[in-house]
Chains A and B, each alone.
Chain A
Amino acid sequence: MNLRLDFGVVWERWPLFVDGAWMTLQLAVLATLFGFALGALCAVGRRSGPPWLAGLCGAYVEAIRNTPLLVQIFLVYFGLASLGFSLSAFTVAALALTINVGAYTTEIMRAGFDSIPRGQLEAGECLGLSQRQVYWHVLLLPAMERVYPALTSQFVLLMLASSVTSQISAEELTAVANYIQSDTYRAFESYITVAVFYLALSFVMRLGFWGLGLLLFPRRRRLGTPL
């Protein structure tokens, strides 16, 4: 057996890795922001929309949660192409990831809504809050606070899942590793390096979300524990 590792030729190409990591991060942040907005809206639609809207949101969640991301990406990619849109791989990747994470966010937010006791809503009404105020201050924000850990884990998983977009030639980390290994014939070293990059990225994202949590939810900061 010839066990000789040579990381040198792989690490020589570090600017490519950095570019790939940057694109992965961009994809993750874009999909997180838009996916969260989409998911929160769908969760609201599912809870208090008219029956057809609630049904639509439910169907969206079930359809996405029960099919693989790879197939979803291909569907978006070829579906848009057959409709005559020619978008860059990056746009398609961001779109597909947004659609995907939106469904998971919907489900998580719904669990958050369900965890708010009815008494809280009634108390809000008794205090003379308007319907909208109750929705925002009593339902949405506390629910978000409760499911924040689940949401952040989901967003980190989304970052890892963005590796699948290399299949439609979005130039993110995994695609970079594929390129470098075909260039240097150092497959093991390339993929190990990229795995370390992903580990570092997920660590950075967790740290970022932890800080953001302290910033967004002062109550959590004061109590020192999650609700």
Chain B
Amino acid sequence: MIATQLGASHLQFLLQGALWTVVLSAIALVGGGLLGFLVALCRVSASRAVRIASGVYVQVVQGTPLLVIMFLVFFGLPPLGINVSPLTAASASLILYVSAYMGEIWRGCIESVPKPQWEAAECLAMSRTQRMFYVVLPQAVRIATPPTVGFLVQIVKNTSLASVVGFVELARAGQIINNSLFEPFLVYLIIALLYFAMCYPLSRWSRRLERRTGYARRQQVVTP
């Protein structure tokens, strides 16, 4: 069969790809969030060695492109005897990447809880763990919500790089369709629109949360 026209089946394939984009984003969010939480705690740890080690981790991951991490995991590990599927490679790379950025965002949020809160908790004879979990973190969560939702947009966009390791998400689905239709501009325009439809509501939501919490215009750097 030679497909020459963009049909319903193509759109269905694209939507299926979009579904995988959502799934991959969810994996990256949950996995990266858990690891990022650990990173954030390490970054404000009492131990100097732990602070430095986690700082190095963040610097290394943030100083390397996600694309290279993906290639490293997908093509680099099999020759060393570790076999990875495209989904595993994409998830693992995204989790690494998200944990470094989320860790830094959340560290900022933890540190922006006013110092007297720590001191007051200490005066109440709370242990360090109690201070963190009963006093600081509940306040940090409120500060962290808008930038975290904003970062969700980055996660969704960055799942597009999973296409380079052959994982069929939205961008890869588009490439496959384009190979049969030879209408790259049209196909990529539709893909861009689908991504926009996923990301724009998140952007709006993040902005609304930001306004409501009153932490106006916190400058947050985002990856392209």
Contacts and interface: CB of A to CB of B under 8 A. Distances in A.
A47 B50 CA distance: 45
A68 B63 contact: no
B63 A160 contact: yes
Contact of B68 (A154, A186, A191): A191
Interface centre among B64, B161, B223 (most CB of A within 10 A): B64
B157 A67 contact: yes
Interface stretch (A11-19, A129-137, A197-205, A214-222): A197-205
B185 interface: yes
Given A67-B195, A78-B185, A111 B217 contact: yes
B158 interface: yes
Given A75-B189, A78-B188, A153 B161 contact: no
B160 A71 contact: yes
A195 interface: yes
Residue from A68, A69, A104, A111 whose CB has the most chain B CB atoms within 10 Å: A68
Question: Chain B: interface secondary structure?
Answer: helix
B200 A66 contact: yes
A225 interface: no
A209 to B, nearest CB: 13
A114 B217 CA distance: 9
B123 interface: no
A70 B184 contact: no
Contacts, number: 143
A181 B81 CA distance: 16
Interface residues on B, range: 35 or more
B191 A71 contact: yes
A191 B185 contact: no
B113 interface: no
B224 A66 contact: no
Given A157-B224, A195-B72, A150 B219 contact: yes
Interface stretch (A49-57, A87-95, A163-171): A163-171
A199 B63 contact: yes
Contact of B219 (A82, A108, A186): A108
Contact of A167 (B82, B164, B189): B164
Interface residues on A, range: 35 or more
Nearest to A189: B76
Given A82-B184, A163-B67, A174-B68, A70 B161 contact: yes
Contact of A166 (B63, B66, B67, B203): B67
A60 interface: no
B65 A161 contact: yes
Interface of B: 60, 63-69, 71-72, 75-82, 153, 157-158, 160-161, 163-164, 171, 174, 184-185, 188-189, 191-192, 195-196, 199-200, 203, 217, 219, 221-224
Given A62-B200, A71-B191, A164-B67, 5 more contacts: A65-B203, A69-B157, A100-B224, A191-B68, A191-B72
